[in-house]
Structure 1
Amino acid sequence: MQQLDGDAGGEQVVRTIGADHVALREQVLEELRRRIVDGEYREGERLTETRLADDFGVSRNPVREALRVVEAEGFVHILPRRGAVVATLDETAVRDLFAVRQQLETLAAGLAAERATPAGIASLRTLIDEANTATAAQDFDRVAELNSAFHRAVIEVSGNRWLHSISAAMYHHVHWVFRVGAAQRAPHSSEEHVRLVDAIEAGDAEAASTAARLHVEAAAKAALG
């Protein structure tokens, strides 16, 4: 539904009814997801609509809608008469995540080596530098965020829109898993990222795919202990 509002100059401006509500829902969703991923809401913790509405200073409606999304993404379970409970990163879920990552990221790396532009390479190296700075500052929330941003950027450089589409939700979970052990993993991850970008910049698809596979294997080993 649309409504016409007049501005100071007498011109009519189209305002979409409900647009503010949609924006609020997205803000609640982003913040709810962030708090789960960063560990502010811990695994197994109960999240009632009333509590979340109080936490965010909003009504229960955008909270209810955000909970539906994070349930579909696998971050919470909705239990009868209990409400939402933060999901647990059990071993099976983590193994499944890395199995998918290995297939997706090796493909993306090979394509990136074939299609990378100088601007794309520069963006990858910038993300590595920013992650190193955050590691030095021991800002591991930021390191985890930049880790996922780096892998999404490799997919952008690959130029494959299908990989981009199907990976979006996955990298929220990658962030979640990485954050748990970020302090120990960050320096090794950075070195592996550099090797991957070097192979992409060299245009060596086989070397890039291998670097991506070894990186995922190392990350899985660290996450699974």
Structure 2
Amino acid sequence: MLPTGLPQGSVPRLERPGPLRERVYEALLELITTRALQPGQHLVESELAGHLGVSRQPVREALQRLNTEGWVDLRPAQGAFVHEPTEEEADQLLTVRTLLEAEAARLAALNAGEAGITALQRIVEEGRIAAAENDITRAVALNAAFHAKIMELAGNAVLAELAAQVDRRVRWYYTPVARLRGGTSWEEHQEMILAIVDRDARRATRLMREHTEHTRQSYLERDAS
């Protein structure tokens, strides 16, 4: 077990080719969004550098960038810590996500072709398996893939760009409730596919609103006993 709390082997060494600063940033961001690095966790430059196989300089630069973007908190005389999102932050982000996703579902119902619908169905089938096997990492990745595919099928580049800006933060919030949502989430995805197949834009919009609202409520209530 690493001092940072990461499972042994969870941090791959980075290949040297390519912009190292960017690669370190992406590696740390992925560890944060998947919650391999937990909110509130102390980030020690030397330890991260050692396990990434780089010097401390690109790690320091990545942490500064992550601080600017709100993923990391730099505290004077204490160091860097993974940001702990407030309930207000989560509520605002997931509310915006509902608006974007609902419009994407509406447009997908109007524009999706057979190949796109087949791709959605394949993701749902894989997601059900992941949920049944309690493979949270896989379930979170497939959930993101499903929503990204809906966004792609919507065919609106501006909408997709806006969604991409919040995608990783949505994954960050979704991960701790993925087990709670379990198979229910995939049943809701299946219902959305049926609405898209029927070209029922109004139903697709409603189902997506309900689906994203369930996730928002699950996150806000996750610690309730």
Q: Identify the TM-score tier after normalising by the shorter chain.
A: 0.7 to 0.9
Paired residue total: 206
What's the counterpart of residue 75 of structure 1?
A: 71
Q: Normalising by structure 1, what TM-score?
A: 0.84
The answer on 1:25 being equivalent to 2:35 is no
Q: Measure how far apart 1:82 and its partner are.
A: 3.1
Structure 1 runs not aligned, ≥5 long: 1-18
Q: Measure how far apart 1:21 and its partner are.
A: 4.1
1:45-194 paired onto structure 2 within 5 Å: 45-194=41-190
Question: Aligned equivalents of 1:189 and 1:132: distance in 2?
Answer: 9
Residues 111-133 of structure 1: per-residue CA shift (max 9 Å, x gap)? 11111111111111111111112
Which amino acid is the alignment partner of residue 130 of structure 2? A
Q: Measure how far apart 1:63 and its partner are.
A: 1.9
What's the counterpart of residue 16 of structure 1?
A: none
What's the counterpart of residue 4 of structure 1?
A: none
Range moving further from structure 2, 129-138 or 92-101: 129-138
1 or 2, which has the higher strand percentage? 1
Q: Normalising by structure 2, what TM-score?
A: 0.84
Residues 30-54 of structure 1: per-residue CA shift (max 9 Å, x gap)? 3212222232212111213323212
Coordinate RMSD, CA, aligned: 1.8
Secondary structure of the corresponding residue to residue 17 of structure 2: helix
- Cα 1:129–1:90 change in 2 (3 A) is same
Structure 2 runs not aligned, ≥5 long: 1-15
Question: Does the Cα contact within 8 Å between 2:87 and 2:220 map onto a contact in 1?
Answer: yes
Which amino acid is the alignment partner of residue 204 of structure 1? D
Secondary structure of the corresponding residue to residue 40 of structure 2: coil
Secondary structure of the corresponding residue to residue 203 of structure 1: coil
Larger radius of gyration: 1
Secondary structure of the corresponding residue to residue 41 of structure 1: coil
Question: Aligned equivalents of 1:73 and 1:145: distance in 2?
Answer: 22
Question: Aligned equivalents of 2:202 and 2:50: distance in 1?
Answer: 52
